[in-house]
Structure 1
């Protein structure tokens, strides 16, 4: 399968690229700085493109079989539109070129109201600044997920918990029901994305990924 990976030079994106190649896929890795992309493999092509530029996205999506987006943005007190705008550009390009399969990474924090009231009170008391900084980003991610669900494409949204470093895949759990306060290793979310490309078990679903306890 020929993949386009947006956010390929992020820590999670690099793992997705490596695992996709190991699984036998070829990857076009989208990054603003191809010279800094640490892959030297004939199955990986680093392409310079600004994902906020609709024309650039249209150009790189053409002639591929699937798109994986691990685009993110740092915490901000001001409104941000990175995830939603990039996703809009990706979806438009996919429809234009007849590319059906789309996998995106969202955020488990969008389901914070589903957590216990005690848990929420504790978070608000301990982390008011963190929550304020993440609110704009979460609204952006919420917009991104809304765009994906309205596309009619063969989409899957993965929602990791708080991301942990680590290059080893654990015996992680996937579920379509949210879990309170999960932790997820970057290796596990990357592995789940690549496995879904092959299996297609969760078309049109939001999937929560929780790492095994030994990673916590």
Structure 2
């Protein structure tokens, strides 16, 4: 891949740190946009850490200006209150890209935004875990992700939306799968998601499409994922 100047929004999250590190390893120049620049753990001669909030359109424009592409890996915890980070971020990022002449955008949402019409997870997953996560635990979050996707689709930019499934930690990039629309699987390693985002920037990327990214090796059990979601809902 040709080296690029990349701006990563949500750079201080678990996936954001991974994709920033992988991009630097591949020779890219990275602007890591985060609300907490002093806490950002990475240092590199080709890294610029930009402090700011996606709710601030001027800060977003300053970060986007001069880039070749933008990666959005924004993320917030589940909440019963309304969530607007994804949609507001999409609004301000796409507007900034138009103002500065940057065209390529790769953004992360979730497979929950458009569930697979085929049954791929078994009774417990399909009838218990997924409805609880989608309709109760993460309802306000996924509603905002849908608004975010609509903004991106209507932006007129060269976009790709990447939809992971249940995220987990893995030590290294695996032979994951990427498929337009839906794929077969329930889990995505964050390291695979980060790698997929960078691959989508290349010539083989899925332009103006939503794609599923799924890990098929070393995935967690459904029981461990249910436990993780239950604990997450209390913190």
TM band (smaller chain) = over 0.9
Structure 1 residues 113, 173: closer, same or farther in 2, change over 3 A? Answer: closer
Aligned to 1:61: 64
Aligned to 1:201: 205
Structure 1 residues 110, 181: closer, same or farther in 2, change over 3 A? Answer: farther
Question: Counterparts of 1:27-176 in structure 2 under 5 Å?
Answer: 27-112=30-115, 114-116=117-119, 123-125=126-128, 130-131=133-134, 132-176=136-180
Q: Residues 185 and 214 of structure 2 are in contact (CA less than 8 Å); yes or no, is this contact kept in structure 1?
A: no
How many Å separate the matches in 1 of 2:193 and 2:116? Answer: 23
- Classify the secondary structure of the residue corresponding to 2:81: coil
How many Å separate the matches in 1 of 2:166 and 2:144? Answer: 17
- Classify the secondary structure of the residue corresponding to 1:116: coil
**Aligned-residue offset at 1:118:** 8.8
**Aligned-residue offset at 1:122:** 5.4
Aligned to 1:24: 27
User: Is the aligned partner of 1:11 residue 2:14?
Assistant: yes
How many Å separate the matches in 1 of 2:43 and 2:33? Answer: 15
2:189 aligned to which of 185, 192, 209: 185
How many Å separate the matches in 2 of 1:174 and 1:193? Answer: 11
Q: Residues 52 and 89 of structure 1 are in contact (CA less than 8 Å); yes or no, is this contact kept in structure 2?
A: yes
Q: Residues 120 and 184 of structure 2 are in contact (CA less than 8 Å); yes or no, is this contact kept in structure 1?
A: no
Structure 2 stretches lacking a partner, 5+ long: 221-235
Structure 1 stretches lacking a partner, 5+ long: none
After TM superposition, the score normalised by the length of structure 1 is: 0.92
Structure 1 residues 126, 182: closer, same or farther in 2, change over 3 A? Answer: closer
**Aligned-residue offset at 1:76:** 1.5
**Aligned-residue offset at 1:110:** 1.6
- Classify the secondary structure of the residue corresponding to 2:82: coil
Q: Residues 119 and 126 of structure 2 are in contact (CA less than 8 Å); yes or no, is this contact kept in structure 1?
A: no
How many Å separate the matches in 1 of 2:89 and 2:55? Answer: 5
Structure 1 residues 14, 193: closer, same or farther in 2, change over 3 A? Answer: same
Structure 1 residues 167, 46: closer, same or farther in 2, change over 3 A? Answer: farther
Name the count of aligned residue pairs.
Answer: 216
How many Å separate the matches in 1 of 2:128 and 2:202? Answer: 43
**Aligned-residue offset at 1:212:** 2.2
How many Å separate the matches in 2 of 1:162 and 1:127? Answer: 10
How many Å separate the matches in 2 of 1:33 and 1:65? Answer: 24
